[in-house]
Amino acid sequence: MDIKVLFEKFKKIPLAFLPTPLEYAENLTKLLKGPRIFFKRDDCTGLAFGGNKTRKLEYIMADVLEKQADVIITIGGLQSNWARQTAAAAKKHGLKIILVLNGKEPEEYQGNLLLNSILGCDIRFKPYTDEEEQREEAGETPITGGIAKEVKKIGNIPYIIPLGGCNPIGNLGYINAVKELKKQLEKKSININYIISAVGTGGTQAGIELGLRLYEMNTKCYGISISRHIKPKSQEIADLCNQTVKYFELECSQFSPDEIVVNYDYIGKGYAIPTNKCIEAIRTVAQIEGVILDTVYTGKAMAGLIDLIKKGKFKKNENIVFLHTGGEIANFAYNKFFK
Ligand SMILES: *Cc1c(COP(=O)(O)O)cnc(C)c1O
């Protein structure tokens, strides 16, 4: 199917403020004396403080409503931006939401957890393993399956959304974002060489890779991973791209892992453990651009970008779009790193 036809057939539910701004980060560009850097402000999608997940949810919620589900079930970390945006999307459409958050209930509610409480979610604190999380991603639902049964028993219709909205329907969000970005760049007569994005589940990068190919853009996506995985992320992202091509029968060639670039050099000790360079990058960008990044994703991605520029990875005459995927709400739960 042609991508244009797909977007005419598969209508999204509006949840985000689009298009998000594309702004030239002049001070950061000057400071680093490297390529020109632009920020794509997907932190400004707006839904309960926004972030990249809102774009995926515009398509996933369309499917939820089409299936007439009335209870959404999903999983995430204690400070999951995904959980918060999904909760807001559910509430906006009058649906119940059950969140399974990975960990013990903290004494104090902060950041995303605070917002999830305000949003009136049914929150279940349950530590789960990486293996269980991977099985969830594969659709086996060891965590959410039991809850879905419970929901059905009382006569409701559950809808399980995988972690991060990482599936073919969710991928449409970033295919659409590339279309939006292409238009903005054409208006400003700018050609970009790279899109830099933090990589969690890899769904965002998969959508970008698909979008770049479908809209025939001569731009590379450069992912910066913020967590370690059992399988290489480039493999998972290529698989996800191919699944999406198959699911929607898109007119698009197959993806292979060696075409997908994911850097693992800026993770530090692990997921959600801030590195010194990450904290430094957050402070730098805040103090010269007035833009707030986050400790889990965009701070690490920015630390990577700054280091890669210093190492001469990008040419001075190149243009880079740094995708600001949001997440700054979680900073309130990481306050001790900023004292
Ligand atoms: C989820 C998230 C990401 C990563 O997106 P994936 O599609 O899971 O790779 C990046 N930044 C922020 C702020 C996020 O919440």
Q: Is the CB of 328 under 6 A from ligand 1?
A: no
Q: Is the CB of 51 under 6 A from ligand 1?
A: yes
Q: Which atom of ligand 1 sits closest to the CA of residue 298?
A: 11
**Mean pLDDT (whole number) for 219-223:** 98
* Alpha-carbon distance values, 333 to 18, 80, 112, 162 (Å): 28, 11, 8, 24
Q: Which atom of ligand 1 sits closest to the CA of residue 43?
A: 13
Contact 35, 320 (CB under 8 A): yes
Gap between the Cα atoms of 48 and 334, Å rounded: 19
Give the pLDDT confidence score for residue 164 in this predicted structure: 94
Residues shown for the chain: 339
List pLDDT tens digits, range 91-142.
999 999 999 999 999 999 999 999 999 999 999 999 999 899 989 988 899 9
Give the pLDDT confidence score for residue 229 in this predicted structure: 79
Sign, Cα dihedral of 128, 201, 29, 17: negative
**Distant-in-sequence, close-in-space partners of 179: CB < 8 Å, separation ≥ 6:** 211, 215
List pLDDT tens digits, range 56-102.
999 999 999 999 999 999 999 999 999 999 999 999 999 999 999 99
**Mean pLDDT (whole number) for 291-304:** 98
Gap between the Cα atoms of 37 and 137, Å rounded: 34
Q: Is 174 helix (H, G, I), strand (E, B) or coil?
A: helix
138 CB neighbour count, 10 Å cutoff: 10
**Mean pLDDT (whole number) for 183-212:** 98
Question: What does the radius of gyration of the chain's CA atoms come to, in whole angstroms?
Answer: 19
State the distance from the centre of ligand 1 to the C-alpha of 51, rounded, in angstroms.
Answer: 8
**What percent of the chain clears pLDDT 90, i.e. is strictly above it?**
97
Q: How far does the chain reach from its first CA to its final CA, in angstroms?
A: 53
Longest dimension (CA), the chain: 61
List pLDDT tens digits, range 223-282.
999 998 778 999 999 999 999 999 999 999 999 999 999 999 999 999 999 999 999 999
Q: Which atom of ligand 1 sits closest to the CA of residue 203?
A: 7
Give the pLDDT confidence score for residue 228 in this predicted structure: 85
State the distance from the centre of ligand 1 to the C-alpha of 153, rounded, in angstroms.
Answer: 33
Buried b (16+ CB within 10 A) or exposed e, 302-312: bbbbbbbbeee
Give the pLDDT confidence score for residue 230 in this predicted structure: 77
**What percent of the chain clears pLDDT 70, i.e. is strictly above it?**
100
Give the pLDDT confidence score for residue 323 in this predicted structure: 99
Gap between the Cα atoms of 322 and 284, Å rounded: 15
Ligand 1, atom 4, residue with closest C-alpha: 200
List pLDDT tens digits, range 33-60.
999 999 999 999 999 999 999 999 999 9
State the distance from the centre of ligand 1 to the C-alpha of 77, rounded, in angstroms.
Answer: 12
Taking alpha carbons only, the member of 45, 56, 309 closest to residue 200 is 56
Q: Is the CB of 199 under 6 A from ligand 1?
A: yes
**Mean pLDDT (whole number) for 178-189:** 98
**Distant-in-sequence, close-in-space partners of 154: CB < 8 Å, separation ≥ 6:** none
Q: Domains in the chain and their CATH numbers?
A: 3-52+167-338 (3.40.50.1100), 56-164 (3.40.50.1100)
What is the phi/psi pair of residue 255, to 5°?
Answer: -100, 140
pTM: 0.98
Ligand 1, atom 2, residue with closest C-alpha: 200
CA 306-309-313 angle, 5° bins: 135
Bridge partners of 37? 320
Gap between the Cα atoms of 11 and 301, Å rounded: 32
Q: Is 8 helix (H, G, I), strand (E, B) or coil?
A: helix
State the distance from the centre of ligand 1 to the C-alpha of 145, rounded, in angstroms.
Answer: 24
User: In a mutational test of the pocket of ligand 1, which residue from 102, 264, 297, 329 has the highest number of ligand atoms less than 8 Å from its CB?
Assistant: 297
Helices (H), ranges, the chain: 3-9, 26-32, 53-66, 81-92, 111-118, 130-137, 145-153, 168-187, 203-214, 233-247, 276-289, 298-310
Gap between the Cα atoms of 217 and 103, Å rounded: 41
Q: Is the CB of 170 under 6 A from ligand 1?
A: no
Taking alpha carbons only, the member of 206, 210, 203 closest to residue 251 is 210
Q: Is the CB of 82 under 6 A from ligand 1?
A: yes
Q: Is the CB of 325 under 6 A from ligand 1?
A: yes
The pLDDT confidence band at residue 204, using thresholds 50, 70 and 90, is very high
Q: Which amino acid is at 257?
A: P
**80 belongs to the catalytic site:** yes
**Mean pLDDT (whole number) for 297-314:** 98
Ligand 1, atom 13, residue with closest C-alpha: 327
Give the pLDDT confidence score for residue 231 in this predicted structure: 83
Residue 271 burial (C-beta neighbours within 10 Å; 0-12, 13-18, 19+): middle
